[in-house]
Amino acid sequence: MKLRQKSYLLTVLMIAAVLYTSTFFLLLPNIRAAIASIESRAIGEEKALALAADGLFETTPQQDRPKYARGFAAYDRGEASFAIGYADQTWLATEPAPPETEFGKTKWLVQNGRTLLVITDTLSDGIFLRYAFDATGEVRRLERQAIGMVLICTALSCAIAVALYAMLERVNRPIERLAHELRTPLTVIRGYGELLERAKLSPEQQHQAAGYIVSECERLGEISQKLLTLADARKNVFRPERVRLSELAAHLMETYPTLVTEVEWESLTADRALLLSLLGNLIGNAVKASAPDSPVRMRATPGVIEIIDAGSGMTPEQLKYVNDPAHAKNPSIRTGLGVPLCHEIAALHGASLRFTSKEGAGTTASVCFSLPKKSSPRKRKDS
């Protein structure tokens, strides 16, 4: 139990890890390309501005330069900010002023929540141009993309985890069920045993205690039989072959004299022995529920085999138990190898087992096989 949970968790974690790493590597070139494009755009714009400034200042006397520099305010398009000046004098700075960085370098900065690419350039005559490209929007977009991928990965791992869990549950449930079923007889046997050992019981009480111990031991025997059959069904005993239903019906009619069969389904791929055991169980239950001479019908139509009886039927509650293979205990139905095993065999064949019933009117057990898509033409060929 513990080990199973551990290995399950480990598998889920591994899947999640693989998903996350692969998305990371998928995203990486994308992010690199986006950054490179921002950088080339910023550098290009800065170059254009620098060229324009250089051209202007070359033909301007020194004292007029600050005045002319103000004309560059027209270049301010909001996306970038820049400053022009000489030594520690700033002639023009757009709002918000670009941060000061080392000369001749391109640098990424985060300032007041904005992501900036800052380029500081020296023009002719020692005039400086500080240019800050605002890449906040681009970075946000990349972030959103990454978060989206992480969310998709998380959702995907969750879905895989749930699917895996459901699968594990389906595989292990019947055994767990039987393990739970063991506890009741164990409690009873132990309890009455203790009473016999320790308490002063009247002869009737002693008789009752012994009776309970014996009947619960019988139940233990039944459970052990179920476990064995289950183990067989699980080992590689599943050998599917082409099974002719008319032949199967004939076989069953020999065992159950009150069985009436209508076979309109030629053949199917199934494990003959298991299918026989499944149908035998269902027919056995139907016979038990019916009056001694009342017939039990088996009807096979393509994809569905039904066992129909006109017996005592089941209460809605009982019906709930037999239809739910996962239900931990069904006190009222304890027949043959048990309905859980029937569910198990049906599941092995990719089929589902469903009971419909009306109290006093009878029960119908339907085994529905999922037919392959091309079944209808083949069916025609068969018949």
Partner 1 sequence: MARILVLEDERAINDLIALNLGMVGHTAVQAFTGKEALAIAERTPLDLLIIDVMLPDTNGFKVYEKLKGTPAIFVTALGETADKVKGFECGADDYLVKPFEMAELLLRVEAILRRTHKSENHYRIDDLDVDFEAKTVTKAGRPIELTMQEYALLEALIRNRNIALSRQKLMREAWDVSFLGETRTVDVHVQRLRKKLGLGDRIKTIYRFGYRFEESQ
Of 91, 173, 174, 94, give the one whose Cα is nearest residue 134. Answer: 94
Give backbone dihedrals phi and psi of 123, rounded to 5 degrees, phi first: -90, -175
Of 148, 152, 118, give the one whose Cα is nearest residue 135. Answer: 118
Contacts 24+ apart (CB under 8 A), 371-376: 371/302, 371/303, 375/302, 375/303, 376/302
Q: Is 184 in the site for partner 1 (CB under 8 A)?
A: yes
Angle formed at CA 325 by CA 317 and CA 214, multiple of 5 degrees: 80
Tell the smallest beta-carbon distance from residue 309 to partner 1 (Å).
Answer: 23
Please report where in the chains the tokens 């006190």 appear, as a residue.
331
Q: Is 212 in the site for partner 1 (CB under 8 A)?
A: yes
**By C-beta, is 27 or 220 nearer to partner 1?**
220
Q: Is 217 in the site for partner 1 (CB under 8 A)?
A: no
Among 183, 207, 288, 378, binds partner 1 (CB under 8 A): 183
Q: Is 191 in the site for partner 1 (CB under 8 A)?
A: yes
The answer to whether 266 and 383 have CB atoms below 8 angstroms apart is yes
| Residue 223 CB contacts under 8 Å (≥ 6 apart), including other chains | 178, 181, 182, 185
Please, what is the end-to-end C-alpha distance for the chain in angstroms?
A: 50
Q: Which two tokens stand for residue 28?
A: 């990486």
Q: Is 187 in the site for partner 1 (CB under 8 A)?
A: yes
Q: Pick out residues in 328-367 that bind partner 1 (CB under 8 A).
A: 328-329, 331-332
Cis peptide, bond prior to residue 29, ω within 30 of zero: no
Among 180, 251, 288, 358, binds partner 1 (CB under 8 A): 180
Stretch that binds partner 1, among 129-137, 182-190, 248-256, 338-346 (CB under 8 A): 182-190
Tell the smallest beta-carbon distance from residue 4 to partner 1 (Å).
Answer: 13
Q: Between the CA of residue 152 and those of 8, 44, 97, 201, what are the distances in Å? A: 21, 36, 40, 67
Q: Is 9 in the site for partner 1 (CB under 8 A)?
A: no
Tell the smallest beta-carbon distance from residue 3 to partner 1 (Å).
Answer: 16
The widest CA-to-CA distance across the chain, in whole angstroms, is 128
Among 62, 102, 112, 198, binds partner 1 (CB under 8 A): 198
Q: Is 197 in the site for partner 1 (CB under 8 A)?
A: yes
**By C-beta, is 197 or 293 nearer to partner 1?**
197
Tell the smallest beta-carbon distance from residue 162 to partner 1 (Å).
Answer: 17
Tell the smallest beta-carbon distance from residue 177 to partner 1 (Å).
Answer: 10
Of 344, 332, 318, 331, give the one whose Cα is nearest residue 181. Answer: 331
Q: How far apart are CA 56 and CA 102, in angstroms?
A: 25
**By C-beta, is 150 or 175 nearer to partner 1?**
175
| Helices (H), ranges, 59-135 | 65-69
Q: Is 200 in the site for partner 1 (CB under 8 A)?
A: yes
Of 285, 289, 171, 283, give the one whose Cα is nearest residue 230. Answer: 171
Residues 140-179 vs partner 1: string with x where CB under 8 A? ----------------------------------------
Q: Pick out residues in 306-325 that bind partner 1 (CB under 8 A).
A: 317
Q: Pick out residues in 69-108 that bind partner 1 (CB under 8 A).
A: none
| Interaction site with partner 1 (CB under 8 A) | 180, 183-184, 186-188, 190-192, 194-195, 197-200, 205, 208, 212, 215-216, 317, 328-329, 331-332
